[in-house]
Homo-oligomer: A and B are copies of this chain.
Amino acid sequence: MKVIIMGGVAGGASCAARLRRLDEKMEILLVERGPYVSYANCGLPYHVGGSIENEADLLVATEQMFKVIFAMDCRTNCEVIGINAAKKTVELKNHLTGEVTTEKYDKLVLSPGAAPIRPPLEGIDLPGIFSVRTVADATNIRKWLERDVDRSVGNSFTGVDTVSKPKHAVVIGGGFIGLEMVENLVERGLTVTLLEKLNQVMPPLDPEMARLVERYLVKHNVNLELSDGVAGFRKASKGGLEVLTEKGKAHPADLVVMAIGVKPELALAKMAGIKIGERGGMRVNEQMITSDPDILAVGDAVEVKDFVTGDWTLIPLAGPANRQGRIAADVLAGRDSKFRGTQGTSICKLFGATIAQTGLSEKTLKRIGDTDYEKVYLYPNSHAGYYPGAKIMPIKFLFRKSDGKVLGAQVLGEDGVAKRIDSFAMAIQMGCTIYDLEEAELSYAPPYGSAKDPVNFAGMVAADVLRGDMPIVHWEALGDGFILDVRNPPELEVESVEGAINIPLPQLRARLGELPRDREINILCRSAQRAYYVTRILQQNGFKARNISGGMLARSHRADG
């Protein structure tokens, strides 16, 4: 049997390597359009930033390694220019020699990946506008940043270097790549404008959690421009470029990075005549088989099932691509492996902070019309408060109202975020409930956590809500409800809510007579901890009481704020 795999990197290369391990006799041809059969595309922003200094460090496996270690035919700089699915042949063009050959296959694996979106805007082809997909992209950005020739208008006349190196960058798009590029360009000393068409950065987050990221960007001197898209580019009169926006602004830019997302490369799929799904990716079954039983597909260009919603989705991430490659290899080797779908786990470093999410966001729940959920906002310490370096770690936690099943989590912080998001990710994979999280035995020592880990805490708070021990209300649903602020007067001096009545917690039991019995009492403190105690006291004394989830801390980035 002969298998041709088109496209290296995460999906194709892992498929090829595993297929050889499973079957020593199979004839395998691995074809990659670019010069490298397997490179670390997740590392590209860090190569631009310089923390990964050498281009060679980005190369994961070489063509030679696939040939020698995995005993397969491996061709780089080689592009598929035709597929005849009826005859089961592909036409290949060697870009170095120009030679075109035809190869027959028994099974074909497509791993074309996804390409950066590059809209046909005016000036898009001006020098200095880059995407970040390939090693060459990263290297070209570095060269552009490191060149020391003058680009000023007067240069050719005066011969004097008046502008030595790029100083201002505009990053267009505030998703993973955009944020990673912002960080790396700032760390190279550039001033950076981040232009984002949506009203939030980091689309997998809900907007109120993204607010915290936006605040953090501004704190790091990033010029953040939300709700404004790119309209075009032009040369600036003093050299460099200008990025023109839909709102009519012009941002000076010595360098522009386009990071407005990626879309599946469908040229191969179209040649093969296989089915494309409504999300614009190749449609595959759990075994990664396309509508043509002899063609499999893996990686960024396929649609996969979100196993929490059951919906088709595109998930251009290395982890799933890698697993899909393995599963395709299993299937080709006659095994019955199945891809379980995705749950959207992702993580991003941003300066000293970490942004992570897994499972469903509230946005997604609203989009699919699912109302059987509740959410809580938590602000636990990243580790024991008394051990140095503890920082508040904001968490938005979503769970099913009817049965307590864990639905999703969004975690931000400066340490220990990965630890928590992975626990939530395992919980979602295994169908855990909030009651399981209450009882989870997670690692604790003061440098790493608390006896009640933030993950336990999420389960406990959620369970308090579902058990009816702590009715809650969210800021956006509060309207002009009655607010009882149970913080101490010095805290109110820093920040208070207009119209709220203040009874500090220590005085509360003695002053119950001051509270209305005919109204819902919405209880407020800093993080909702003391308000929880008060909710319990009032409930048991016959009042209608609700805790304002997340308290003042949630108010600072409220969903409708």
Contact = CB atoms under 8 A, between A and B. Distances in A.
Interface of A: 10, 20-25, 40, 42-43, 46, 51-52, 57-58, 60, 68-71, 176, 180, 317-323, 340, 342-349, 354, 356, 358, 384, 386-388, 416, 418-423, 425-427, 429-430, 432, 436, 438-449, 451-453, 455-456, 469, 505-506, 509, 530, 532-533, 536-537, 540-541
Contacts of A425: 423, 440-443
A43 B442 contact: no
A440 B451 contact: no
Given A68-B506, A349-B445, 14 more contacts: A40-B384, A42-B444, A43-B384, A51-B387, A69-B505, A69-B533, A180-B445, A345-B444, A346-B443, A346-B444, A346-B445, A347-B443, A349-B447, A430-B430
A348 B46 contact: no
Nearest to A23: B540
Nearest to A71: B509
Q: Which 9 A-B pairs have the closest CB atoms?
A: A347-B443, A426-B426, A24-B540, A318-B451, A430-B430, A322-B451, A419-B419, A57-B386, A21-B536
Nearest to A429: B440
Nearest to A386: B57
Given A69-B506, A321-B451, A421 B443 contact: yes
B52 A532 contact: no
Contact of A432 (B347, B422, B430, B536): B430
Contacts of A57: 386
A386 B442 contact: no
A35 to B, nearest CB: 17
A453 B441 CA distance: 21
Contacts of A509: 71
Contacts of A321: 451
A342 B444 CA distance: 14
B430 A40 contact: no
A441 B319 contact: yes
A447 B427 CA distance: 23
Contacts of A452: 319, 322
The CB with the most chain B CB atoms within 10 A, among A318, A345, A418, is that of: A418
A414 to B, nearest CB: 13
Contacts of A344: 441
A439 B423 CA distance: 15
B25 A343 contact: no
Contacts of A533: 21, 69-70
A43 B426 contact: no
